Each structure stands twice: as structure tokens, then as C-alpha cells.
Amino acid sequence: MIEGWLTDGQAARLAAAAARSRPDGVVVEIGSFRGKSAVVLASTAGSLIAIDPHAGSDRGPQEIEADATRGDADFDAFHANLAAAGVADRVRHVRKFSSDAHQDVSGPLSLLYVDGAHRFGPARADLRDWGRRVAPGGVMLVHDAFSSIGVTLALLVECALSPRWRYVGRTGSLAEYERVESGPRDVGAFARELPWFARNVLIKVLVVAGRRRWAERLGLDPAAPWPY
Ligand SMILES: C[S@@+](CC[C@H](N)C(=O)[O-])C[C@H]1O[C@@H](n2cnc3c(N)ncnc32)[C@H](O)[C@@H]1O
């Protein structure tokens, strides 16, 4: 069992998207942590470029500052988990911040999984700069799409208002978008998820305030630290 925040349902959605991914593009993950999603993508798609600096920064809930010790521990666990799952030879790890890794990936993307820094600035840059590399017909999946304020705002700006992304749906807060040549700006699809987003933010506020029981009454899984 690999440590991480991806739920079983979300892993199934990732696997289904990877199984459908077009053979003429690469599959890229931004934010690998200890390999939970990377194993799913590599097993199903056959190959994966995993971008993660493993600097210990923007790592998980309230873990924003860099911390080399925890970053190195994540790096070691990531590679050990890939080996244990038998997919080490299917994954090329780029140990860089996503904004510095563009030259390390050539060609269009058939699938992009975004789960790196969740603050608005870097999340927006990932959706904008990596998203534009997804080929028409390709797919972009975004974790914490409707549970992290930075990611949700970035999605609003870069995807909900864009004619180039069609919202497909979500599993928990894992959102799926299809890259299209041009389509209607479907802000309504985004707006319909706002009650779910508000519920998740409220749950997080209650957890931080030490009111877990109240959060569980709103639907937080007792086994989960956070809503995903
Ligand atoms: C939420 S975790 C990813 C979880 C992972 N997808 C899984 O399934 O377990 C976020 C990861 O993003 C990485 N990260 C933080 N900032 C990043 C950036 N600018 N570019 C790429 N990865 C980043 C962190 O090192 C951390 O491992």
C-alpha cells in the first residue's frame, strides 16, 4: 500500500483515462510524491514521465516550505515503490519543479495529470503552460480540483473560461477535462461544482479548528485526514 491522497475511485478514473490515452502522445504527471498515482498511470499507459523535485515543498496539506530531509525520503520511497510495483523501467523521473521541466519533455501530451503545488500561482502555471501541450483529444486530470482554493481558482481562470477545455466530470475532487480544438465556454459546468467545493472548504476549516466530528457529520471520511 503506497502512502498518498489518491482514493480508490480516483485511481480507477486515472487508470481508465490512461487506458484510453492516444499512442501518439506522452503521458506526464506533475507531482508524484511516493508514487501512488505514478504506479497507476505507468501500469495502464505503459510509460510515464513523472515530474517532481522532491524538495519537500508543496508536499501535502499545510506542508508548503521546502524540507530536504522529507524530500529525500519521498524520493527514496518513490523509487522503491516503483520498483516494488514492477514499473520502474516504465517511468522516467524528472527531478525538477514543473516550471523548469519543459525542455525535458518533447512532443505533445496525450494525458496530463496535475497534482503538484496547489497554491494559485504554480497551479495556474501548470494548467496553462503544461495544459497547452496536451493534444486535441487528449485528457487532463487535476487532483484537488474542488477542494483546494488555489487549484479551484486556477481551474476557473485557465479551464472553465476557456473554449479549449471540455469538463468531463469528477471523482471526488479529481476533475477530468478533455482538450478540444474549440468549443463553448461551459462556465455552468464549473459553477455546478461550487456547492461541492464550498462543502470541502468548510470541512477543511472545521478540521483545522479541531472540529473533526462536525466535519464527519458533513461527510468527511473518518479514515481520511482531508476531503479529496
Ligand atoms: C499531493 S503530492 C502528489 C501526490 C501523488 N500524485 C500521489 O498520488 O500520491 C504533491 C507533490 O508535488 C510535488 N511538487 C511540489 N511542487 C511541485 C512543482 N512545482 N512541480 C512538480 N512537483 C511539485 C511535491 O514534491 C509532492 O511530492
Q: Considering the entire predicted model, what is its pTM?
A: 0.95
Sign of the alpha-carbon torsion through 192, 119, 129, 4? negative
Kindly state the cell numbers that stand for 215.
Answer: 466535519
**Which residues, including other chains, have CB under 8 Å from residue 95's CB and lie 6 or more apart?**
52, 53, 54, 75
Nearest-CA residue for ligand 1 atom 6 is 32
Locate the ligand 1 atom nearest the alpha carbon of residue 36 and give its number: 8
Distance 132 CA to ligand 1 centre (A): 20
Locate the ligand 1 atom nearest the alpha carbon of residue 4 and give its number: 9
Q: What is the pLDDT of residue 223?
A: 85
Q: Is 7 in the pocket of ligand 1 (CB under 6 A)?
A: no
What's the gap between Cα 44 and its chain centre?
Answer: 17
Q: What is the pLDDT of residue 27?
A: 98
Q: What is the pLDDT of residue 21?
A: 85
Q: Identify which of 29, 58, 124, 141 to mutate to test ligand 1's pocket (most ligand atoms within 8 A of the CB).
A: 58
Q: Is 190 in the pocket of ligand 1 (CB under 6 A)?
A: no
Q: What is the pLDDT of residue 172?
A: 94
Give me the half-sphere count of Cα atoms (radius 13 Å) on the Cβ side of residue 74.
25
Positions of the chain with pLDDT lower than 70, given as ranges: none
Q: Is 25 in the pocket of ligand 1 (CB under 6 A)?
A: no
Q: Is 116 in the pocket of ligand 1 (CB under 6 A)?
A: yes
Q: Identify which of 32, 34, 72 to mutate to test ligand 1's pocket (most ligand atoms within 8 A of the CB).
A: 32
Pick the CATH number of 8-187 from 3.40.50.150, 3.30.450.20, 3.20.20.70, 3.40.50.1100: 3.40.50.150
Locate the ligand 1 atom nearest the alpha carbon of residue 34 and give its number: 9
Give residue-wise pLDDT tens across range 144-198: 999 999 999 999 999 999 999 999 999 999 999 999 998 888 889 999 999 999 9
What does the buried/exposed string (b/e) look like for 168-202 if buried means 16 or more CB atoms within 10 Å of the residue's CB?
A: eebbbbbbbbbbeeeeeebeebbeebeebbebbbe
Q: Is 33 in the pocket of ligand 1 (CB under 6 A)?
A: yes
Distance 55 CA to ligand 1 centre (A): 9
**What is the domain partition of the chain in residue ranges?**
8-187, 193-228
